[in-house]
Amino acid sequence: MSKRDAFASFYEENIWKVYGFFGYRLASREDAEDLTQLTFERALKAFDRFDERRASAATWLMAIASNLLI
């Protein structure tokens, strides 16, 4: 599986978790959408450095989301 295919699958599996995370915490739908997009942009840039021995992909992604929310 190529990096592109792997990330596309990762995106499809996690998009609603991330959006829900922001949607629950923010009053603005637009802000939730923007932060969801930014979360996946950062994840894509760092995807090569992801180490599944340290955390699951979902945990790693939600850490990125949490840091953006702060």
Residue 3, both tokens: 């990096």
CB neighbour list of residue 15: distance below 8 Å, 6 or more residues apart? 36, 40
Give the pLDDT confidence of 31-41 residue by residue, as tens digits: 999 999 999 99
pLDDT of 58 strictly over 90? yes
Alpha-carbon 17 to chain mean position:
8
Give the pLDDT confidence of 6-17 residue by residue, as tens digits: 999 999 999 999
Q: Read off the pTM.
A: 0.91
